[in-house]
Amino acid sequence: MKFESKKLPRSRYQLTISLTVTEVDSHFNHALAHLASTVKVAGFRPGKAPAGVVKEQVDPTKLREEAYSLAVQTSWREAVKDLKELPIQDPEVELGDFEEGQVAKLTFEFDVRPEVKVGNWEKIKLGKTKEEEVTNKEVEELIDSLRRAHAKTIAKLTPAKTGDKVHVDFEGSLGGVRQAKLSSKNFPLVIGLANTIPGFDEQLVGLKKGDKKKFQLKFPANHFDKNLAEKLVDFEAEVTEVFDIILPELNDEFAKGFGHKKAEQLTKAIKEDIGSRKKEEKFVSQKARWLAEFERLVNCNLPESLLRAEVERSRQAWRAFLQERHINEGEWLKSRQLTLEQLEKDWHKAAEASVKIGLGLAEVAKIQKKELKSNEEFQTILDELVKRAIS
């Protein structure tokens, strides 16, 4: 068994293993012995018939495939013992001539961990920024949302006004054609706080239960569905229910529902929570800036296998996202005026950045004599580096 290795572009190696006639025949003999237990020969118990008799009963193609498989497994096990560069993926094997009584060559190709060079990452400086204060308005808005989440509703027959909750049936038409995605039954919303097309909820002010109304709205230019952006849509709506919303008072009793004895304690906790969230959001933004600068300092030939794996993760996450929401892939792409090819290019570009950063951080960790065995350890060292760049 002779080995010949060749370095290929992009951190890839080719390993050619030459087998002698004796070695090839040995694999055929082992394959025949393995298949003998599955062959029935008249007058003999399974596995007890002479090899020559068994060979006459075995499909030559099946015997060759079994022998070839044994040769690949045995040769690779031997090769790995002496490899200086360990593969980061299972090798790809080129199928060549493999016949009994003849010499053979097995060709393996595999990616290895690339040589990674990182520029002076310690010079990345983000600088400290002024801590953003929590305003009274932010605290009031969050308290208001909590009160609304625990509000009571009372049905009424008087006209709806801003702040009331209504249930509405509506249909939207574009160019006279009804649009299923713009139609709904018993749709709930709060007038003035609705997350709908701008102006939709305002059209319901003054309507009582059972009232109907036709109106037209122009969709905003930045609407996520490009097919609707800046289009005039005709709506027919019927209010099916109108409710007064009774908000609970911000008092000690209300605070107890959130684990506080006093309303003041709840207000203080909310302010602290908003402050913590702002700090976290700022740190995430700083981390993104640091990663962008760090990526530019990483120099390596990215193995294609790592990029393919990263792209596949993005593809699976995208499909899971659509499946959970029962969204058709084609419709999602059409609504954003995208093609799958364009999306694949975006995934590939993101994969290049992600893999470069990952390899770069692993190199930094090696320099610092730290191990990155889990995502938690990866995030820990990343956070440490970002905090160092801020200080």
CATH code, 77 = 3.30.70.1050
Q: Among 246, 272, 307, which residue terminates a domain? A: 246
Same domain, 43 and 156: no
Judge whether 297 lies within some domain. yes
Domain interval for residue 193: 152-246
Same domain, 100 and 193: no
Report pLDDT for 129: 80
User: Do residues 365 and 383 touch, judged by C-beta distance below 8 A?
Assistant: no
Q: Per-residue pLDDT tens for 177-187?
A: 999 989 999 99
Q: Per-residue pLDDT tens for 31-65?
A: 888 877 766 655 556 555 566 666 767 788 888 99
Same domain, 94 and 179: no
Q: Per-residue pLDDT tens for 256-266?
A: 999 999 999 99
Same domain, 232 and 279: no
Q: Tell me how far apart the alpha carbons of residues 152 and 245 are, in angstroms, rounded to a whole number.
A: 6
Q: Tell me how far apart the alpha carbons of residues 165 and 55 are, in angstroms, rounded to a whole number.
A: 83
- The structure's pTM equals 0.71
Report pLDDT for 34: 80
Judge whether 146 lies within some domain. no
Total count of domains within the chain: 3
In sign, the C-alpha dihedral spanning 41, 47, 50, 52 is positive
Judge whether 364 lies within some domain. yes
Phi, psi of 244 (to 5 degrees): -80, 140
Same domain, 228 and 279: no
Same domain, 50 and 80: yes
Count Cβ neighbours within 10 Å for each residue of 117-131 and write b for 16 or more, e otherwise: ebeebeebebeeeee
Same domain, 219 and 288: no
Same domain, 269 and 362: yes
Q: Among 86, 113, 140, which residue terminates a domain? A: 113
Q: Among 246, 276, 300, which residue terminates a domain? A: 246
Residues of the chain short of pLDDT 50, as ranges, are none
Same domain, 342 and 242: no
Judge whether 317 lies within some domain. yes
CATH code, 187 = 3.10.50.40
